[in-house]
Chain A
Amino acid sequence: GESVGLHLPTLSVQEGDNSIINCAYSNSASDYFIWYKQESGKGPQFIIDIRSNMDKRQGQRVTVLLNKTVKHLSLQIAATQPGDSAVYFCAETVSADRGSTLGRLYFGRGTQLTVWP
């Protein structure tokens, strides 16, 4: 769900290590989830998505895990690189929210990932 006014948690990792970024959502009706990466002063970039009928999806160096029982989402980044340093947001949407148009996205509060060389 929305997280207005909350400041970002941070995660620092060494280059080459794996990173795990977590996200809790509140709306049990949400059925589509997306992870975005946002670099400083830029708009969000799509990383990976997952539908509620799945519990795991893999991309290039990234894996998203969905646990609907506890309403938890995680993003795993393998062999983290300095270029991965950014803020990572999870976003959720409810397909029933669409009507005749696409559903609105609700962003989590984000996590600042810093990768040290």
Chain B
Amino acid sequence: GAVVSQHPSWVICKSGTSVKIECRSLDFQATTMFWYRQFPKQSLMLMATSNEGSKATYEQGVEKDKFLINHASLTLSTLTVTSAHPEDSSFYICSVAGNFYEQYFGPGTRLTVT
């Protein structure tokens, strides 16, 4: 399967600032990527579907102006959390869509907003 990396693996930021998380597909052309959020001891919640060269599709209840997604190449998608607040503290995970139904997940990014 695809090897997916995320950077940074963890980040601490102050309330009101913005933070960018990168998701890279190292050996697979990532036409479609997904972004998830996971709170402690809870399941993964799909935030948005990102397609290379087009606008992301956001799930209901996810603010597109707060969670900016850019997927400008077949190897990189970025998620920017704008004007972060403590309630945005979470584990953010990206995945790359494979050739069929499978998804290859990154290692996740732990965001803490103080």
CA distance A34 to B110 in the complex (A): 25
Cβ 8 A contact of B41, one of A2, A7, A46, A102: A7
Which residues of A have CB within 8 Å of B32? 101-102
Q: Smallest CB–CB gap between B18 and chain A, Å?
A: 23
Q: Chain A binding site: helix, strand, loop or mixed by DSSP?
A: loop
A-B contacts besides A41-B108, A44-B44, 6 pairs, CB < 8 Å: A34-B101, A43-B93, A101-B31, A102-B97, A102-B101, A105-B95
Query: In the bound complex, do residue B51 and residue A101 qualify as a contact, i.e. CB atoms below 8 Å apart?
Result: yes
How many residues does chain A have at the interface if contact means C-beta atoms less than 8 Å apart?
31
Query: In the bound complex, do residue B105 and residue A44 qualify as a contact, i.e. CB atoms below 8 Å apart?
Result: yes
Identify the A interface with B (CB < 8 A). Answer: 2-8, 32, 34, 36, 41-46, 49, 89, 93, 95, 101-110, 112
Which residues of A have CB within 8 Å of B95? 43, 105
